[in-house]
Amino acid sequence: MILVGERINGMFRDVGRAIASVDPHPIQEWAQRQEAAGADYLDLNCGPAAEDPIKAMRWLVDTVQAVSSLPLCLDSTNYDVIEAGLERCKRPALINSCPAERPKIERVFPMAKRFGAKVIGLTMDKKGIPKDADSRTALAMEIVAAADEFGVPLEDLWIDPLILPVNVAQDHVVEVLETIRRVKTLSSPPPKTVVGLSNVSQKTVNRSLLDRTFMVMAMAAGLDGAICNVCDEELMNSVATARILLNQDVYADSYLKVFRKRQ
Ligand code: THG
């Protein structure tokens, strides 16, 4: 599993405040904490409140790179913000994200190629997020075709079937799992799959239980990565255990310790 730490996001009050007051310390603490917890990437999202999001993204990238050598996942719907971040990234980054809409594809994929960045493609378009796996998979196919057209390697394409909160879109969850399975048949090599895990439990009680149960189900369906709360130890133990049961790691009685050390 490729784990993307979700915590440097202006939607969290402490991070939003740190961005607004240009205070590097809370940001750098979260970078180091998530790296120690086993993150492979760090998601950076200025949040809805940033006054000058281009300046904020540049500052976030510089601030995080001063204390962590993890690659970054630049999370914005504003592609000028993503481009400003990419210009500062020392390592190949992950662009988060691009929907299956032609003008956005034409903006994002050439930029990904220019910077050697990877891309998260969303199974949504102007009409929004469809419910059924057929429609989600059709949108994924449009993004696979775009990667091919613009010369972005399929290994660098991550498809996100967009998991929604279970309390408002319960009937979507099985469709997302089926989409994860089907995306693997779209090309050779297949694109990777990724979800924003914490979406599933937004505004519910038992958040951690919902997150880790869905994580294990999605891993069994073939999920390759997740933007998630890497500081949730029970979630990380579930990931380690699912990897053993899916024969992705060699069993040892000490597998939890082994996983934690390796991550
Ligand atoms: N797909 C992709 N990128 C994404 C998402 C996705 N980026 C953002 C998001 N979804 C994933 N990251 C988060 C981060 C935080 C929360 C959910 C998803 C979250 N936040 C608290 C809440 O809303 O209750 C914030 C409140 C707080 O604790 O302060 O749950 O799906 N490609």
The pLDDT of residue 131? 97
| Predicted local confidence at residue 56, as pLDDT | 97
Residue 262's pLDDT band (boundaries 50, 70, 90)? Answer: confident
Q: Is the pLDDT score of 261 beyond 90?
A: no
Residue 229 CA to residue 182 CA, distance in Å, equals 26
User: Whole-prediction pTM value?
Assistant: 0.97
How many A from CA of 164 to the centre of ligand 1? Answer: 10
- 98, burial (CB in 10 Å: exposed 0-12, middle 13-18, buried 19+): buried
C-alpha dist (Å) from residue 40 to 3, 73, 155, 205: 5, 10, 16, 28
What are 213-240's pLDDT values in tens digits? Answer: 999 999 999 999 999 999 999 999 999 9
**Using a CB cutoff of 8 Å and minimum separation of 24, what contacts does 26-34 make?**
27/60, 27/63, 27/64, 28/63, 28/64, 28/66, 28/67, 30/5, 31/63, 31/64, 31/67, 31/68, 31/70, 32/67, 32/68, 33/7, 33/231, 34/5, 34/7, 34/8, 34/230, 34/231
Residue nearest to atom 28 of ligand 1 (CA): 12
User: Once rounded to an integer, what is the mean pLDDT over residues 86-112?
Assistant: 98
Q: Given the CA of residue 227, which atom of ligand 1 is nearest to it?
A: 11
Given a contact cutoff of 8 angstroms between Cβ atoms, the answer to whether 95 and 74 are in contact is yes
Ligand 1, pocket residues at CB < 6 Å? 6, 9, 11-13, 75, 96-97, 120, 160, 162, 196, 198-199, 202, 227
Interval between CA 6 and ligand 1 midpoint (Å): 7
In testing the pocket of ligand 1, which one of 199, 202, 203, 228 has its CB within 8 Å of the most ligand atoms?
Answer: 199
Distance from the alpha carbon of residue 196 to the mean position of ligand 1, in angstroms: 7
**What is the tens place of the pLDDT at every residue in 172-198?**
999 999 999 999 999 999 999 999 999
Q: Per CATH, is 2-262 categorized as 3.40.50.300?
A: no
Mean pLDDT taken over the chain: 97
Domain residue spans of the chain? 2-262
Residue nearest to atom 9 of ligand 1 (CA): 196
Dist. CA 105 → ligand 1 center (Å)? 23
Distance CA 13, CA 9 (A): 9
Instruction: Give nearest CA residue, ligand 1 atom 11.
Output: 196
Residue pLDDT, tens place only, 119-132: 999 999 999 999 99
pLDDT band of residue 16 (cuts 50, 70, 90) is: very high
